[in-house]
A and B are shown apart, each in its own frame.
Chain A
Amino acid sequence: MKKITNRAVSVLLLAAMIICGCLVYVIRYADHGEEWAMAFSRANSGSTGAILDRNGVVLASFNASENAFSPDTATRIANYHITGDYWGRSSTGLLTRYDAALKGYSPLTGVSVAKETVLRLNVDAELNNKAYAVLNGRKGAVLICNYRTGELLCMVSSPAVDPADPDPVPGDGAYINRCLSASFVPGSVFKLITAAAAIECIPDLDRMRFACEGSVDIAGVEIICSGTHHEQSFEQTLANSCNVAFAQLAVRLGQATMTRYVRQYGFLDGHLLSGIPTAAGSFPEEFVGDPELGWAGVGQSTDLICPYSLLRFVCAVGNDGVLIEPQLVQNAEPPRMRFMDPDTAGKLRQMMNYNVTTHYDGANRFPGLSLCAKTGTGERGDGTSNAWFTGFLLDEDHPYAFVVLIEQGGGGLQAAGSAANEILQYAVNR
């Protein structure tokens, strides 16, 4: 008997194989469960969902039988970086980010039955269409946000793709959202940060005079300016975008102070826009010496900033130093925070308005807009430059802060400034 019953382990062997099989299944289930469930369960559960813009325009919708986008090609392309697609090609797209919520899957309860999920956005799809059209195939990014409420009205990254009919050979970085997922050489828009630091740290700034003879020697290295500005007030240095003055200010503030401000204003960190992570920027944090610090103070050196971080900055300046965190998806209570001293914000606002009225030919270039702004021309080091234009409207009916970036677009005012004007005119007159 013992001999025979010892051989009963063959049954246990069979049982062991079954237990192994179960483990393999459970592991594969944990790994692919959602993908499997989505393959037919959604279609069979009757769950539906949609992404709508602020005016109810359908950007994407799905139901049991189909995954759909807007019927309008221009809308599909201009809003591609907001919606993403059903196949997860865009990492920032809401269809990818909010996949489970939109489709109603959770590992615990599986697919929810007959769930209708609608995501309402703050963006205006037609404004996006306009911005995409204005960029006209150039590589770039446009962001517009209501700085009083945090509503993100416009987010466009060019080039984009048509999710309903993807180009087999997509444009350069067409799947990258330049507004959120990339950082660029800022050039002179960075002077806003240096200026804010100077306002807070250097006493008697308003009484100081800054001489510019076209270049300045800092510790044996020549920093070249865009022009020869002679003697200027602090206000005039920003309007002139004087490299000589800002390089000297940065050196006077010192690397530690400069780094502290760049960090405090959130340029070195990634953020979350309605749950979507954004790119961090960079600034020389290790010791680099005065000449390099001078260049860093005017937005060159190893400076890189993400357009979204710059949008937060100008939103806070426009809103008296209080940042209402921008929201892509409608949210009743966006978080708010004290971003900078209200006096600093007031001073910057006044200087940025001065830029437009005295140096940017505001009345002709930006007719009817009460504008505070700063241009930027970030030298990329290959002979081309990133054209930047950022600021906000002093208009309580249209409290819009904006960032316009055109990669390799040339001069900031010429390229980005005129694009910003076209888009803002459209936004204000809608």
Chain B
Amino acid sequence: MDELSWIVPTSRVVMIVLSLAVMIRCLRSMLRERYDPEVWAYLRSGKQTLPITHWENLLGRSRSADLSLDLPGVRRTHAVLRRNDKGVWKIFDVFSRGGVLVNGTVIGKDGLRVTDGDVISLASNRLRFLDTDPAKRKRLEDARSPVGRRISPALTLLELTTFQLFLLVQHAFSAGEADLPPIALSFGLLILLEWSCYNAMRVIGRSGFEVETLAFYLSSLGFSVTASAAPQEMYKLALMTTIAVLLFLCIGGWLRNLRRSVGFLIPVALAALGLLAVNILFGRELNGAKNWVSLGAFSFQPSELVKVCYVYAGAATLDKLYRRGNLFAFIAFSALCVGALALIGDFGTALIFFVTFLVISFMRSGSIATIFLAVAGAGMASFLAVSIKPHIAQRFAVWGHVWEDRYGAGYQQTRALSAAAGGGLLGKGAGSGWLKGVFAADTDMVFAMICEELGLIIALCMMLAVLTLAFFAVRSARRGRSAYYAIASCAAMSMLLCQMALNVFGSLDLLPFTGVTFPFVSRGGSSLLSCWMLMAFIKSADNRKDGSFAVRSGEHLRTEGGSK
């Protein structure tokens, strides 16, 4: 083995290069490539023909309306024009109270169907609605630029696989003899899983694979962390990852149908509350938080699954958004979730939910005042929490002064900082650190563990991967078919961003230590499941041509009401 010792230092540099290459390719493909809008129908106003590029469209004089109509009598926000999965268009009079007519008929509370050639009157301005037939839709679809033509997803995945093989080689040098087979086999399973996933996508004609590639990149760092800190858990991790990816595919498939997705909002919300209730009743306390539930030999954290339910139930379609009652129901639901988490003692997750709540409620209402109210309320609540719970007060007290109490309250943060700095830019090699021996290194201090073993550059790439997903979610939202997908994907990403910020900055003493997990990387099955499931929301908002399995192709969508 000695004559091969040059491999580890060399592989460190190679791994950094591969990491950067994967990041750059994903960034370019997700954020720089053309992202043409989908065109579903047209609205003719006089000589002007406006393309309708979403399934949910706001009509009004406002510049931020999807169909901006500078016509006399039209309000800033006037009506909502909505298409369903089956291609049936409906118009809703949400704002004007009687100012919307279809072919001379005043529309009621539940809206009115519009078909090709119908005349829509907005405050006595006549507009003609022109739907697209299948042939036209196919032509429109063909004109859009497909994903992956410039930046081949297969090559990116190949780079990722090479990265994973180097990672495995490093572990081969540092792992114990007994631990090597499970580590090697699990890495092999991971590589098999990602290529199967990729091939499945090819079969159904989808070439957007960046979201999955980034998730697999983060997962492989998670595999490395577990291989270092708990090699006996490798098989379990490989199994959980397989289940997580299957769940990701299932939820993505489920989200293809908007009506079905939206129809289950209330059952999912109830499921979330049910899970929290089970947690409160049967939860087991571990490290100050009662967030574990055991089912025989299997134990899990219900709060992780609640995250997915919360995002699922928190988003809404455009026509629902402007109904006040709907927003209040959402606020009540959020308050119940955050309150239940505080009761459980899982303040880190409660904070993540709260930030996600802020993002969702801002996207829904656009009201900064609401946000301020919510922040003020939460501020007071957390003040109470701090004064009641001594271990939380202690975490605030030591924040910024960890070195003064390095054997007490600052124990974990000082170890994390020291190990992270000890890794330098290049790291000591996978499995060669010392932080892995410190309690919770593979969960709460995982950023420092990656810094120590793989170096600061890869650790920053790890954060960049999550940031890239967030940028992509925001970019996709602009082209979204439905507000539901746009809000859900942004909410999912804000949840992961917040979780990452608390994990990384908590362990580095830039924020109080909260003990939440780093998405995909921290060890823990429930967390892994929820992260992969949240990825399904990102995929469901990816409307690039042939981009995502969770979105039906534009040309295949039947247009029932296309011709009269």
Pair B434/A4 contact, Cβ less than 8 Å: no
Q: Is A208 an interface residue (CB 8 A)?
A: no
Pair B467/A37 contact, Cβ less than 8 Å: no
Pair B426/A10 contact, Cβ less than 8 Å: no
Q: Which residues of A lie under 8 Å from residue B406 when comparing CB positions?
A: 39
CA distance A110 to B470 in the complex (A): 31
Q: Is A429 an interface residue (CB 8 A)?
A: no
Q: Is A169 an interface residue (CB 8 A)?
A: no
Q: Is A41 an interface residue (CB 8 A)?
A: yes
User: How many residues from B make CB contacts under 8 Å with A?
Assistant: 64
CA distance A19 to B478 in the complex (A): 23
Q: Which residues of B lie under 8 Å from residue A38 when comparing CB positions?
A: 418
Q: Is A3 an interface residue (CB 8 A)?
A: yes
Pair A41/B58 contact, Cβ less than 8 Å: no
CA distance A417 to B183 in the complex (A): 74
CA distance A86 to B6 in the complex (A): 33
CA distance A17 to B54 in the complex (A): 31
Q: Which residues of B lie under 8 Å from residue A44 when comparing CB positions?
A: 419, 422, 434
Q: Which residues of A lie under 8 Å from residue B54 when comparing CB positions?
A: 1
A–B pairs, 16, beta carbons within 8 Å: A1-B58, A2-B64, A4-B364, A6-B64, A8-B363, A8-B473, A8-B490, A9-B474, A14-B494, A21-B501, A38-B418, A39-B406, A44-B419, A109-B425, A110-B424, A111-B423
Q: Is B505 an interface residue (CB 8 A)?
A: yes
Pair A108/B498 contact, Cβ less than 8 Å: no
A13 → B minimal CB distance (Å): 9
Q: Is B66 an interface residue (CB 8 A)?
A: yes
Q: Which residues of B lie under 8 Å from residue A45 when comparing CB positions?
A: 422, 434
B419, B434, B490, B505: the one within 8 Å of A11 (CB): B490
Q: Is A106 an interface residue (CB 8 A)?
A: yes
Which chain A residues numbered 219 to 273 have a C-beta less than 8 Å away from chain B? none
Pair B467/A3 contact, Cβ less than 8 Å: no
Q: Which residues of B lie under 8 Å from residue A5 when comparing CB positions?
A: 477-478, 480, 486
A6 → B minimal CB distance (Å): 6
A8, A14, A24, A36: the one within 8 Å of B510 (CB): A24
CA distance A122 to B357 in the complex (A): 69
Pair A7/B460 contact, Cβ less than 8 Å: no
Q: Which residues of A lie under 8 Å from residue B460 when comparing CB positions?
A: 22
Known: A15-B470, A18-B463. A4 touches B321 (CB 8 A): yes
B364, B463, B477, B487: the one within 8 Å of A22 (CB): B463
A4, A19, A33, A106: the one within 8 Å of B363 (CB): A4
Chain A residue nearest to B321 (CB atoms) is: A4
Q: Is A113 an interface residue (CB 8 A)?
A: yes
CA distance A108 to B426 in the complex (A): 6
A-B pairs with beta carbons under 8 A, tally: 156
Q: Which residues of B lie under 8 Å from residue A110 when comparing CB positions?
A: 421-428, 452, 455
B418, B422, B456, B487: the one within 8 Å of A4 (CB): B487
Pair B486/A108 contact, Cβ less than 8 Å: no
Q: Which residues of A lie under 8 Å from residue B57 when comparing CB positions?
A: 1
Q: Which residues of B lie under 8 Å from residue A426 when comparing CB positions?
A: none
- Using a CB–CB distance below 8 Å, which chain B residues touch chain A? 54, 56-58, 62, 64-66, 77, 318, 321, 355, 358-359, 362-364, 366, 403, 406, 414-415, 417-428, 432, 434, 452, 455-456, 460, 463, 467, 470-471, 473-474, 477-478, 480, 483, 486-487, 490, 493-494, 497-498, 500-501, 504-505, 508, 510-511
Pair B56/A1 contact, Cβ less than 8 Å: yes
Pair A41/B490 contact, Cβ less than 8 Å: no
Pair B362/A41 contact, Cβ less than 8 Å: no
Q: Which residues of A lie under 8 Å from residue B363 when comparing CB positions?
A: 4, 7-8, 10
CA distance A108 to B428 in the complex (A): 11
Which of B421, B494, B505 has the most chain A CB within a 10 Å cutoff? B421
B420, B424, B487: the one within 8 Å of A108 (CB): B424
Q: Which residues of B lie under 8 Å from residue A108 when comparing CB positions?
A: 424-426
Q: Which residues of A lie under 8 Å from residue B474 when comparing CB positions?
A: 8-9, 11-12
Which of A12, A36, A44, A110 has the most chain B CB within a 10 Å cutoff? A110
Pair B362/A7 contact, Cβ less than 8 Å: yes
Q: Is A107 an interface residue (CB 8 A)?
A: yes
User: How many residues from A make CB contacts under 8 Å with B?
Assistant: 42
Q: Which residues of A lie under 8 Å from residue B498 when comparing CB positions?
A: 14
B413 → A minimal CB distance (Å): 10
CA distance A24 to B505 in the complex (A): 10
Pair A1/B486 contact, Cβ less than 8 Å: yes
A1, A32, A33: the one within 8 Å of B66 (CB): A1
Pair A10/B362 contact, Cβ less than 8 Å: yes
Q: Which residues of B lie under 8 Å from residue A8 when comparing CB positions?
A: 363, 473-474, 477-478, 486, 490
A46 → B minimal CB distance (Å): 9
A382 → B minimal CB distance (Å): 45
CA distance A41 to B427 in the complex (A): 13
A10, A17, A41: the one within 8 Å of B358 (CB): A10
CA distance A111 to B419 in the complex (A): 9
Pair B497/A21 contact, Cβ less than 8 Å: no
A114 → B minimal CB distance (Å): 10
CA distance A25 to B456 in the complex (A): 11
Q: Which residues of B lie under 8 Å from residue A1 when comparing CB positions?
A: 54, 56-58, 66, 318, 480, 483, 486
A61 → B minimal CB distance (Å): 21
Q: Which residues of A lie under 8 Å from residue B66 when comparing CB positions?
A: 1-2
CA distance A41 to B434 in the complex (A): 8
Pair B415/A106 contact, Cβ less than 8 Å: no
Q: Which residues of B lie under 8 Å from residue A25 when comparing CB positions?
A: 504-505, 508, 510
A52-79 vs B, Cβ < 8 Å mask (1 yes, 0 no) = 0000000000000000000000000000
Which chain A residues numbered 98 to 157 have a C-beta less than 8 Å away from chain B? 105-111, 113
Q: Which residues of B lie under 8 Å from residue A105 when comparing CB positions?
A: 422
Pair A21/B505 contact, Cβ less than 8 Å: yes
Q: Which residues of B lie under 8 Å from residue A111 when comparing CB positions?
A: 422-424, 428
Besides A6-B64, A40-B422, 19 other A-B contacts (C-beta < 8 A): A1-B318, A3-B65, A5-B480, A14-B470, A14-B497, A19-B467, A21-B501, A21-B511, A22-B460, A25-B510, A29-B420, A34-B421, A36-B414, A39-B406, A39-B414, A41-B422, A108-B424, A109-B425, A110-B423
CA distance A35 to B457 in the complex (A): 20
Which of A1, A9, A32, A36 has the most chain B CB within a 10 Å cutoff? A1
Q: Which residues of A lie under 8 Å from residue B362 when comparing CB positions?
A: 7, 10
Q: Which residues of A lie under 8 Å from residue B505 when comparing CB positions?
A: 21, 25
Pair B419/A40 contact, Cβ less than 8 Å: yes
Which of A5, A15, A39 has the most chain B CB within a 10 Å cutoff? A5
